[in-house]
Structure 1
């Protein structure tokens, strides 16, 4: 158990969080640089599409069915691609959408620390924004504020190894910060909502992703619901304490605290600019492995019968993804063995590379056992801190090698506008009428920004 932090550290974090919430409470759309506005729209659309594409998953369908039986007033949409669109109370919709948002493992993340900041904001914003009649401009501004808050909290508390999964530990904070901004509460109320949200987080083990425990996918949904509740309760005095953030993340979870991370570069270093997008439907720690396999094969088709073995030398976070025979599609997305083999045999790491059939495919089962994971020869600084070197040995004696120091998609190697738009539209195939609306959002069309989100959503799902 960690040593409790001193009162001085508790006070320093509380003071820094108050400075941060004062800044975000006062933030206006006009305060945002144009590139940050564009970035917010892109992140919003990408994570929205990554949510919709998972709608057909049977476990999610069962979750929605159960929620529908007990849901309250129909005020927010469940975005699963179905028609007519299923509507529930905002809390149930946030739970349903948040649980779908990370299912396909195509949502973006924040590269500097272990944090999917947009995922922690958007499900709550979608539900609250539709229920309250908010405009898209208001929702994008709230996304920036929520992203800024939860990313800075992630910087302020660092944890040894990969023990606490951020989807449970951080998502309630992001949801509360975003909804507080959308509702326009004052800085003191936002501070109380965020500190309260810290006490409503989930201590989810990181290894649940690697083992394939599907409850991991539900954490963002539960946290979205809890984040909205934290904002509900703050004005009526149902709150935590000013020290709740450190009492939870430092005293209980054992995080190393750095209070200044909450305020340094505030207003200049926009955290949303440091995010990444994903084209591969698996853990980002393994994207360099995917890229290295693709470089090694250079488009050449390789049959399982030709392969003697595969060696993957990668960074320490990648080496945690060690599960040669994953039992679920989630575990497959967090298995270096499956990721390397599926990329080799299928030529990609898209959603179909992790379907149920791939788990028991005889060729893949056998070949996964011939994957060896080792340490990359050296620890490299950002942005090359997640490298992979892959060596594929064929039975003929031929050796194919590929290396990737930093997978594309982050701030150092961003995808083109066309690539991101193509991904978004591809994931929204269930919404055939969505293209014009999505392109208008990405272009920050003034008419679209000033319209209620509910109106825009109705057009997207028509």
Structure 2
């Protein structure tokens, strides 16, 4: 009988051999990071991102679903000292992180990162605002953790190719929230690594169909990521362990493929993803923004307004992801924000793609719906080839009198290549937060955030964010 022998190594050696070098480097990088390591432009951009997130959360909190969920979470999870921003309610940390993340995606105005193909900040800020005050974190701690959580989430999004059926919300954002919270808790390198490995397998298996069909559960994905980010840290701090390379496993073969670990450390500490972010003014899916910008140019050429009844047809050639948003009969507000035909029609009917332009009243307007049916959307493979650096769209509009207008946008207004100024981002915050709290209270929040890097703690910001909405506040 033949004797078989095996070279069985101790588990500790197997784990050490299997852990990728990029993860070790990230553990050391995350544990040692301080605000002094962030270049001044990164601190400035992170501060703007924080302000923008607060504004979109407060505005989204006024939606009826958010108000209803706030009441239910207060019943089921109990009250707490973490503000549900714009509601006047204090909730337990996990409940606040969930609700604020959900509210921040309700209006489709949250910032994003075109290279990560997602929205990193709204997956991180609610968790930090829930954890920071309890930990007596400084404003500098908050900004550092935000930049760090944004970075790891974005890097995973860049390094991995999500399945085309997967919605990016609720996936790599969990790792971003978890690492940011670990940083606030002053985790060492080993705990940073463990937290990432745990968080990697706590993300959601999200469906891209939800956004196309108007399944508003999609708005909860970012909120769940924030909640799970808090949970991942609690698990790690309690001694729970993950697999050795959770991110490589999940994003290299479970919900994504073609994971490129070298991109996790390329120019690490030199190129900051939060400094390559984009801000949004159109309250619709970013894939519609190039066409909306081009249509805005056409309206300007035509004298400042085009009557929807005088439009015979609108033709759009754009990149693949935008071309998929070709449904002209959205069933609710979310679906309307992911309908390129409706977004263009309501832009003409209302003068801008504001939150109000996608609500039921605007969506049910007969003239707007008729115009949406006269919009044709096609993919141009040449435009698709220009992703991800550019987001091009070409729009041709024909009037009933035979006149034709054409315009092209190579990138979206607000992108790194064509950014909004800091004043424009602050104006967006005022537009969103002013109707919620009143102009003076919104200005006080903006002033507080502007100097947050010098704040010894987060008590003033938390107090301001805990204020109830003004009577009749809405966006």
TM-score interval w.r.t. the shorter chain? Answer: over 0.9
Deviations 1:342-370 (A, max 9, x none): 11222211111111112221112212111
Q: 1:36 aligns with which of 42, 58, 67?
A: 42
Within-5 A mapping of 1:1-400: 14-72=20-78, 74-79=80-85, 81-82=86-87, 85-159=88-162, 162-298=164-300, 299-376=303-380, 378-379=382-383, 380-381=385-386, 385-400=390-405
How many angstroms apart in 1 are the aligned matches of 2:247 and 2:185?
A: 22
Deviations 1:180-210 (A, max 9, x none): 1111111111111111111111111122111
How far did residue 247 of structure 1 move?
Answer: 2.1
Gaps of 5+ in 2: 1-13, 468-475
Deviations 1:51-95 (A, max 9, x none): 10111111111111111101245121110x23xx21111011111
Aligned to 1:4: none
- Contact 1:193/1:230 (<8 A) preserved: yes
Q: TM-score, normalised by structure 1?
A: 0.92
- Contact 2:390/2:411 (<8 A) preserved: yes
How far did residue 382 of structure 1 move?
Answer: 5.5
How many angstroms apart in 1 are the aligned matches of 2:448 and 2:402?
A: 53
How far did residue 169 of structure 1 move?
Answer: 1.3
How many angstroms apart in 2 are the aligned matches of 1:52 and 1:408?
A: 23
How far did residue 457 of structure 1 move?
Answer: 2.7
SS of residue paired to 1:323: coil
Deviations 1:148-198 (A, max 9, x none): 1111111121135x3211112122111101101111111111111111111
How many angstroms apart in 2 are the aligned matches of 1:140 and 1:190?
A: 18
How far did residue 260 of structure 1 move?
Answer: 0.5
Deviations 1:415-450 (A, max 9, x none): 1121111111221112331314413532x366xx32
Aligned to 1:5: none
Alignment length (residue pairs)? 447
- Contact 1:156/1:258 (<8 A) preserved: yes
Q: Larger Rg: 1 or 2?
A: 2
Aligned to 1:418: 423
Q: TM-score, normalised by structure 2?
A: 0.90
Within-5 A mapping of 1:441-460: 441-442=449-450, 444=451, 449-459=454-464
- Greater displacement, 162-171 / 199-208: 162-171
SS of residue paired to 1:261: helix
RMSD (Å) for aligned C-alpha atoms: 1.9
- Contact 2:297/2:407 (<8 A) preserved: yes
Gaps of 5+ in 1: 1-7
Aligned to 1:406: 411
How many angstroms apart in 2 are the aligned matches of 1:11 and 1:358?
A: 59
